[in-house]
Amino acid sequence: MKRFLLAALFLLSTSLFAQTTIDFETVGNTWAPGVFGGPIAYSLVSNPNPSGINTSANCGQLIVDMTATSFAGAFFTELPDFTLTVDNCIVRVMVYKDVISDFNLKLEPPNIDQRNVANTVTNQWEELVFDYSAHIGVNVATLTIIPDHVNDPRTWSSTNYFDNISFNAIIPVELTSFTGSYVGRYVELNWVTATEVNNWGFEIQRSSDNSSFATVGFIEGKGTTTEENHYSYVDRNVESRINYYYRLKQIDYNGTYSFSDVINLGKSLPSTIVLDQNYPNPFNPSTTISFALPVKSNVSLDVYNLVGQKLMTLVNGNLEEGNYNYNIDASNLSSGIYVYSLTATNETGASTVITKKMTLIK
């Protein structure tokens, strides 16, 4: 069962061949590839920029002439023969190129040509990922690199560096974020995955006590992908003033599953404006007044004595929908009964006034 991660984590391979990373400084320094596709030259050279993700002293270099074909490249038969398994089917390679174009890394067998992944930066080391999880069980004998795959006719020559080709375990479902918020009377959940393998989908589970969770929805996953994916779910069956917790149950095609961390959204919004009794009550000398707005409103929250004199204003302005708490310090007031009043006017002009009493005892 693969792990469900909240931060980037990749396992080192335990492949059937001893060397899991080809660094072209110690392992690949004696390799002599065959080249194809026109004028193209391979050599072991100094790292053009030994910083960032690749500080190795040396790396492989392929210079492709402008007159070379689209598929010009090199093949390495020195690659130790091995069988693709769940422990080595994700291939990662560091590339450094002076143009933006597809980089083709092909394992033979299975002889799959469509393994093109474009770099996104020039003159900077970048790691590209190639997924061979669909070919588990195939015996691999040759590594082929087409460093600068372009559409014919080729209009440039290019210098391409590559290093640290690693063979890793299947990439887990990597959850990089999981957030939620109240939007009006509903809950909106959003999450992002950086990678997925055999991901059937996500059950959305909800609880009001952070103990007993029930499934309230399902979102289909993307199967196997190394691309970032964004998901969202709207829970419309939300009761008023409930403290809600959510988590994701990620399920594989084979039925195995794992859970995300739990997020707590706090109390849900009411269907109408709510003004709570202050707490504590009676109080001395401070107390808290809480209220909730289902929609954005212009709000005033004031404290009066029993003859109607305004003693303090706690809120006066526009507030978004949500739950609010305000503290009163009554150190300067005498013991007695006071009134607090909430006036809220929504964007349609409808107004609500709610008044409650509180008792100060010194």
Residue 85 has which token pair? 């398994």
- DSSP for residue 307: T
**Predicted local confidence at residue 4, as pLDDT:** 46
Q: For the whole model, what pTM was predicted? A: 0.50
Question: 163 or 198: which carries more pLDDT confidence?
Answer: 163
Contact 76, 144 (CB under 8 A): yes
Query: What are the backbone angles phi and psi of residue 30, rounded to the nearest 5°?
Result: -105, 5
pLDDT digits (tens, 9 = 90+) for 4-62: 443 323 233 333 343 478 888 887 788 899 999 989 999 999 999 998 889 999 999 99
Q: Where are the beta strands (DSSP E) in 226-350?
A: 229-235, 243-252, 257-259, 263-267, 274-275, 286-293, 297-304, 310-319, 322-329, 336-346
Q: Mean per-residue pLDDT for 256-275?
A: 87
Q: Mean per-residue pLDDT for 312-335?
A: 93
3-state helix, strand, coil in the chain (%, to 5): 0, 55, 40
**Predicted local confidence at residue 171, as pLDDT:** 67
How crowded is residue 51: how many other Cβ atoms within 10 Å of its Cβ?
Answer: 9
Cα-Cα end-to-end distance for the chain:
63
- Calpha distance 204→180 (Å, rounded): 12
pLDDT digits (tens, 9 = 90+) for 268-306: 888 789 899 999 999 999 999 999 898 899 999 999 999
pLDDT digits (tens, 9 = 90+) for 110-168: 877 656 788 888 999 998 888 888 899 999 999 999 999 887 788 899 999 999 998 88
19 three-class SS = coil
Contact 232, 190 (CB under 8 A): yes
Give Cα separations from 159 to 47, 51, 96, 151 (angstroms): 13, 19, 9, 17
Contact 196, 335 (CB under 8 A): no
Q: Which residues contact 215 (CB under 8 A, 6 or more apart)?
A: 203, 204, 205, 249
* Pairing status of strand 82-83 against strand 40-46: unpaired
- DSSP for residue 51: B
Domains and CATH numbers, the chain: 11-168 (2.60.120.260), 173-267 (2.60.40.10), 274-360 (2.60.40.2550)
Q: Which of 213, 212, 196 is nearest to 204 (CA)?
A: 213
88 three-class SS = coil
**Predicted local confidence at residue 113, as pLDDT:** 61
Q: Which residues contact 212 (CB under 8 A, 6 or more apart)?
A: none
**Predicted local confidence at residue 327, as pLDDT:** 94
Residue 94 pLDDT grade (very low, low, confident, very high; cuts 50, 70, 90): very high
**Is 197 a residue whose pLDDT tops 50?**
yes
Q: Which of 288, 317, 313 is nearest to 301 (CA)?
A: 313
How crowded is residue 310: how many other Cβ atoms within 10 Å of its Cβ?
Answer: 11
**Predicted local confidence at residue 146, as pLDDT:** 94
- Calpha distance 107→235 (Å, rounded): 45
Side-chain-side CA neighbours of 329 within 13 Å: the count stands at 2
Give Cα separations from 118 to 115, 158, 225 (angstroms): 10, 14, 15
- Calpha distance 67→39 (Å, rounded): 7
Q: Which of 322, 320, 4, 11 is nearest to 178 (CA)?
A: 4
Q: Which of 206, 316, 202 is nearest to 262 (CA)?
A: 206
Q: Which of 219, 166, 162 is nearest to 196 (CA)?
A: 219
pLDDT digits (tens, 9 = 90+) for 209-245: 988 899 999 999 999 888 899 999 999 998 888 899 9
